[in-house]
Structure 1
Amino acid sequence: MRRRMFLAIPAAAAIPAPRRLRLTVAADGTGDHTSVQAAIDAVPAGEPAIIGVRPGTYLGQVIIPAGKPMIELRGLGRSPADVVIADDRANGTPKPDGGTWGTSGSASVTVDGAGLRVTRLTFANLFDEAAHPEITNRQAVAVLTRADRLVFDRVRFLGNQDTLYVNSSAAGVIARAYFRDCYVEGDVDFIFGRATAVFDRCHIHSLNRASTPAGYVTAPSTDRTNPYGLLFHRSRFTSDAPPGSVFLGRPWHPSQDPEAIGQTIIRESWIGAHIPAAPWTDFGTWPWEEARFAEYRNTGPGATVTPDRPQLTREEAAAYTVDAALRGADGWNPCGRG
């Protein structure tokens, strides 16, 4: 019997994954930097980086420029509340060189770098409305996003008016953002903009501003050509405001843009009693009926089905899923679903 000869073929050398720059931010000076902005400034243009932020409150405006994509911000505390990144300016806050900041300029954090990923921390705008009665333009953004393929996982967004501004780089440009297990609070139009933004199992809390109405949750300005705007999936809508005093949304037309046909879809979510039986309302001269507002299989005391609450059919709902909204032409799948 002839013995077969087997030649040992060396295994191909494993190709190591490219190393990512790692930086640590610590307010007490024990890290690489004492501010979040300093750490971002230290990342070479175009190089991915992981920035860990130790527990503490970090005050000052943060800007992530377009030339610095694929940055990851990681809160290093036990909970999102342990790491707070905040500023305190509003639309009408005077600028040092004259004029005021405006809504976009009020943002505590501005994201222009694509592919940002944020986990386990808090973004806030600490503008004190009561302390500044002289400022009437009180839009105070905690986070402004204008980039594509963003992920926020277990992140808190705190503010009053205009807390979370989900936008894109220009009208007609699609920018996608995925929010998973996040908490967002505010009172007036506190989730707004033209981005495709998906809120998956999030907690949306309306503050009570002791006025009538007590607030508005969303103000989408989705471009007519974009099939996906704001989508809330299996989320919770709560409030300390009186029953029936908060609207789910109104259609925002920036600069009276007729192409901004806002979309808010809320599906399979729990809605509290602060939402009235007619939950959508007009924005100035723009009627809510011309926007793309709809619900699907919501529950809770504020989820009553009435003629003023458009409902998706089962077939329509199949087209407005988390995966479908985020997939885009490049097949992006931040949820990790098959």
Structure 2
Amino acid sequence: MMLMMAAAAAMALAVPGGGAPGTTTRPVLSHTEARPFTPENYFRYSGLYAAPVADPWRPRPIATGRPDYLVGGHGFTTVQEAVNAAYRDGGAARRWIGILPGTYTGTVLIPAGSPPLTIFGLGRPADVRLEFTVDATITPAAWAALVNADGRYAEGDPAWPMFQSCATKTSATAGLCATVVWAQSTDLQLRGLTITNTLLDTVDRGTHQALALRTDADRTQLENMRLISRQDTFLANADDVTRIARVSVRDSYIEGDTDFVFGRAATVFSDTHFHLVSSRKASGGVVFAPNTAPNYPYGFLVIHSRITADAAYQAAPTGFLGRAWDQGASATGYLPGITPNGQLVIRDSLIGAGYNTVTPWAPAATTARPFAARIDEGRDLNDVNYNRLWEYRNRS
């Protein structure tokens, strides 16, 4: 019995982060503390952050069949044309857009007010590719000229207001408009696609946001997807910062090097592979940057997933699992209870080599707020004076 207990203790120590409560730089949840962090709770509420409403969402596997709209072959030439057609047909019933294997170059804007859409690949995800090269450092005018070089957005089109919201920005750069696919519609489903921002390694290791996918609305589902970029690959967002948005990601692959999974939405990633690459940024890469409302307990949940890094990171393990975004606080610094305070639990997952095992969480992105977690008995997991980035029962 003593040998069995010793073996169990050794196994616990081998698990990344060790046992609860962990350390101030690598906190670990106890079994009791981990109980609330389930997909059911992350998807339980909708409405205002200030007054959440019980509205359980139980996303089922995405069903596909004969598409209502076909892209490729003798169908629509672009995905945008099919989205526009579905929007104009309207109604509350779900509509299916099927995409034949091929490479479809250009952006896709999916406006609010679209009927529930399922956009899916008719082939392997690697063979159905939505691609474009766009860098957030360009001006809004340059962004407009770039994404609309083929005239795919015109006044009167369903996506015109989305296009104009970026084209007419008064900021110096395009910022988060620099994305290949941008969706503002509720009940959107994406399945079996590869979305790549092909900026990739053509730029230096500096700040070059280059999103593959941005989602802004409630009840968004991703399944069997491949999202590829370097910085800011996937933004799981809430367009209205006062309201809850929920996102489900299953059986997918996400690749990048800096904050490549980020945002405000209550998002559950299950059976998903996150891969940190060194081809542009050789050290200090970051996977997650949640931006959760400060008084809301559910940001990102990663469960039954894999977090890996390439050979260069494995040789020199400087990768970070994540950091808080602290969006909007560059001038003020972090303001407890006011600034978003990213929440994330990584549980029951594999964390591969390449990550800093002592300090896996980096200082906050916008404010450089040093990472600090509570490890005292009876700790408040939502204390706004501390970080909310946790692990539970992971393995290496």
Name the structure 1 match of 2:80.
Answer: 37
Name the structure 1 match of 2:305.
Answer: 235
Deviation string 1:84-140 (CA, Å, 9 cap, x unpaired) is: 11211010134137976523110101110000011111111111442x56x954100
Distance 1:260 1:49, change over 3 A: same
TM-score, with length taken from structure 1:
0.77
Check if 1:87 corresponds to 2:183. Answer: no
Name the structure 2 match of 1:314.
Answer: none
Distance 1:61 1:298, change over 3 A: same
Q: How many residue pairs were aligned?
A: 275
Distance 1:136 1:234, change over 3 A: closer
How far apart, in 1, do the equivalents of 2:353 and 2:394 lie? 13
**In 1, are the aligned partners of 2:184 and 2:216 still within 8 Å (CA)?**
yes
Name the structure 2 match of 1:110.
Answer: 182
Name the structure 1 match of 2:19.
Answer: none
How far apart, in 2, do the equivalents of 1:233 and 1:191 lie? 15
- Offset of residue 23 of structure 1: 0.4
SS at match of 2:313: coil
How far apart, in 1, do the equivalents of 2:113 and 2:137 lie? 29
Q: Which structure's residues are more often helix, by fraction?
A: 2
Name the structure 1 match of 2:256.
Answer: 186
TM-score, with length taken from structure 2:
0.66
Distance 1:128 1:181, change over 3 A: closer
How far apart, in 1, do the equivalents of 2:246 and 2:175 lie? 21
How far apart, in 1, do the equivalents of 2:132 and 2:115 lie? 23
- Offset of residue 46 of structure 1: 4.2
| Structure 2 gap segments, 5+ residues each | 1-65, 146-166, 373-385
Task: Select 2:278's aligned residue among 208, 211, 216.
Answer: 208
Q: Which structure's residues are more often strand, by fraction?
A: 1
How far apart, in 2, do the equivalents of 1:264 and 1:76 lie? 34
**In 2, are the aligned partners of 1:247 and 1:280 still within 8 Å (CA)?**
yes
**In 1, are the aligned partners of 2:121 and 2:193 still within 8 Å (CA)?**
yes
Name the structure 2 match of 1:281.
Answer: 362
How far apart, in 1, do the equivalents of 2:209 and 2:233 lie? 8
- Offset of residue 292 of structure 1: 0.7
How far apart, in 1, do the equivalents of 2:67 and 2:271 lie? 31
In percent, how many aligned pairs have the same letter? 36
Task: Select 1:59's aligned residue among 90, 105, 115.
Answer: 105
- Offset of residue 180 of structure 1: 0.6
SS at match of 1:192: strand
**In 2, are the aligned partners of 1:182 and 1:203 still within 8 Å (CA)?**
yes
How far apart, in 2, do the equivalents of 1:50 and 1:148 lie? 19
**In 1, are the aligned partners of 2:313 and 2:355 still within 8 Å (CA)?**
no
Q: Which has the higher contact order (CA 8 A, sep 6+)?
A: 2
Check if 1:294 corresponds to 2:390. Answer: yes
Alpha-carbon RMSD across the aligned residues, in angstroms, is 2.1
How far apart, in 2, do the equivalents of 1:293 and 1:224 lie? 13
- Offset of residue 212 of structure 1: 5.7
| Structure 1 gap segments, 5+ residues each | 1-19, 301-338
Larger radius of gyration: 1
Distance 1:260 1:69, change over 3 A: farther
Deviation string 1:50-93 (CA, Å, 9 cap, x unpaired) is: 0000000111110110110410001001x111101121101013
